[in-house]
Amino acid sequence: GMLSIDTDFRGSLSVLSGGTLAGEGTIDGDADFDAGSTLLVDLDADAALDVSGTFTIDEDARLVLVGGLPVDLRPGNSTTIVSAGEIDGQFGTVESENIFNSSLFLDIALAYTPTTIDLTLERNGLAFSDVTDTRTQAAIADAVESLDWGNPLYDEFLFMNNRDQVIEGTIWLSGEAHASIQTSAIQSAGMVRDIITWRLRSSLAVDGADVVSTDSMTGNLAQLAYAGDEGTPAGVDGTTTGSIGTASGHAVWSKAYGAMGKTLGSGESHTTERSTGGLLTGVEIGYGSDWRLGGFLGYSHTQTNVGELESKSGMDSFTAGLYAARRYEALRLMYGAAVSVNEIGTERNVRFSSIDETLTSYYRSATVQAFGEVGYALTNQNGFLIEPFAGAALVYQYTSGFTETGGASALTGAWASRMLPVTTLGVRSAFDLGRLYGGTGVSLESSIAWNHTFGDITPATTMTFGSTNTSFTVPGNAAARDVGIVGVGLNFAVTPDMPFTIDYTGAFAQNQEDHALSAGLAARF
C-alpha cells in the first residue's frame, strides 16, 4: 500500500517491501526503507520530505520521481528532495516518470550528503548535432548549443526527447528564405535583360516598321523586324543595305510585365513560389546610319514565399541602364548593361515545440549585369522568317547583411555575393499575318531557346543567432541550371510609328516552371 504524509507525523516508521511512502510533510523520528520499498517524490510539491531522525535506505529500495522539474533546476544546480538529521544508505533504483520527457541530452543524478538527498541534472555527452540528418542541420544545432543555458532556444533543445524534434527545430530556425531571395533577385534581373533585348530587336527594324515579339523571364526570346509595304521580314530581302531606316529618329517605349513561377524543393531547400510585376520605360536615338543608343528606367515588385516554413519576402527593385544595337544586313548585334537596387523586407514564423515567434528584417541587395545578343536572319519565304540567335550575360549580385527582430530565434546575416555567367541559344520565327488578311499590320511570332547558367547556382547565406560567434551557412532554393524556354506573341501596328505587342513566355526545367505575360508600346518621332 501507500502512505502519504502531508503534515506532521509524530514517531518513527518503517516502509516494508511492497510499501510506498509519499508526501511533503515531516516525520518526527526515524524513517527506514526496507528492501523492495519505494519512496515516491512529487517534484511539483512545495516542500521536501523532512525527517528529524535518521533516514535509512536499504540498497534494494527504490526512488520514483514524478511531476515536473522545478523551474530553477538546471545543469549545475540542485534541488533537495529529502532532508534528515542523518542519511544512511542510498537507493538502489531511481526511476523518473516523464519529469522531463526523458530528454536526449540530460541525465538525472542524485547527490547524497550527510543530511540531504539532492536531485541534479547532468548534461550528457550527446551533442545537439549528433541527432541531425544533414550538414546544415548539424551546423544550426551547434549554433544553438553555443547559446548555453538561459537562452530560450538552448533550453528548448535541451529538453527535447526525440531526434525528430531536433531536426524540426533546426529546419524552422534555418532562415532559408534569406538565401532564396538571392535567386529571386537574379531572376528579376533576367526579366530586365529580356525586355531590353526585345527593345533592341525592335529598334533594328528597317523602313520604320517595328514588329515586336515574345521575351522571357530567363532567356532572350524573339523579336523580329519586318520592312517595307509588303511586310517582308527585314534583313533578308535583296534590297537591304545594312542601314536602319529610322536610325536618325527618336523613340520612347514602355513595357509592362507580370510573371509567376515555382521551384520545387530539393536537397535541404523547400519549394519556393514567386510572383513579379513591373514596368520598364526607355528613350533612344539613332547614331549615324547603323547604331541605336538608348537608356531606360524601371520598377518591379517581387513576392517570394516559402510556404512550408511560413516565410515570405517582398522586394522592390529600381533599375537603370543603357543599351546599343547595330545591324549589318541580316546580322544583328545588341549590347546592354543594367544596375538594379533592391529593397527587401522579410517576415517569417518560427514554430516548433513551445517556440512561436514572428521575425522581420529589412535590407538591400544590388544586381549588376552586362549582356549581349547576336542574331542572323536565314529565311524569307512568303512573309516567314527564321532567325537563330545566341546571347550571353554576366550577372553580379551583392546582398547586404541584416539583423532580424522579433524574438530569440532572430538571425544576423552576413553579406553575400556571387557572379553568374549565362548563355542562351535559340531560334525565333515570325509570320506576317497581313499577307493573309489584306495587309493588316499584325504578325505572329514564336521562339524556342535553351538557357544555361554557369558557376555556383545555389545561393547561400551565413548567419548567427544574435551576437554569437558560432555561424552556420544555409543554402537556398536554386534556379535550374538548364532551362527550356518557349514563347509566342502577337504584334500590332497601331499606327506606322506606334507598334504594340502582347506575348507569353514559359520557362521549364526539371523542378522549375515560370509563366510570364507582357505588353509593350513604342512610339517614334
Q: How confident is the model at residue 210 (pLDDT cuts 50, 70, 90)?
A: very low
Residue 440 reports pLDDT greater than 70 = no
User: Where are any strands of DSSP class E within 35-180?
Assistant: 38-42, 49-57, 62-66, 78-88, 93-96, 106-112, 116-123
pLDDT of 117: 95
What is the C-alpha separation between 455 and 18, in angstroms, rounded?
72
Tell me what the mean pLDDT of segment 1-25 comes to. Answer: 91
Q: Please, what is the average pLDDT of the chain?
A: 87
Residue holding cell 547558367? Answer: 453
pLDDT of residue 99: 64
Write down the pLDDT at residue 467: 76
Sign (positive or negative) of CA dihedral 125, 131, 134, 138: negative
- pLDDT of 318 > 90? The answer is yes
- For residue 237, pLDDT beyond 70: no
The phi, psi pair for 225, rounded to 5°, reads -105, 145
Grid cell listed for 385: 522568317
pLDDT attached to residue 220: 31
State yes or no: pLDDT of 425 exceeds 90: yes
100: confidence class by pLDDT, cuts 50, 70, 90: low
What are the angstrom distances between the C-alpha of 363 and each of 21, 265, 298, 346, 366? Answer: 62, 25, 20, 9, 11
Give the CB-side neighbour count of residue 189, counting CA atoms within 13 A.
31
pLDDT score of 14? 93
- DSSP secondary structure code for residue 405 in this structure: B
441 CB contacts (<8 Å, ≥6 apart)? 209, 231, 434, 492, 493, 496
For the domain made up of 174-524, give the CATH fold. Lipocalin (2.40.128)
Q: What is the pTM of this model?
A: 0.83
> Residue 217 — very low, low, confident or very high, per pLDDT cuts 50/70/90?
very low
Q: pLDDT at position 159, please? A: 87
Average pLDDT estimate for 29-36: 95
- Nearest residue to 267 (alpha-carbon basis) of 482, 416, 508, 478: 478
Give the residue, 317 or 492, on which the prediction is more confident: 317
The torsion of the CA quartet 504, 453, 182, 272, rounded to 10 degrees, works out to 60
Task: Please name the residue ranges forming H helices in 93-238.
Answer: 135-145, 152-158, 163-173, 176-203
pLDDT at residue 438, as a whole number: 62
The three grid cell numbers given for residue 93, joined into one nine-digit string = 533504483
Confidence at residue 320, expressed as pLDDT on a 0 to 100 scale = 98
- Give dist(CA 176, CA 222) in Å, integer: 35
Write down the pLDDT at residue 223: 37
pLDDT of residue 236: 32
Boundaries of every domain in the chain: 2-123, 128-172, 174-524
For residue 302, is pLDDT > 90? yes
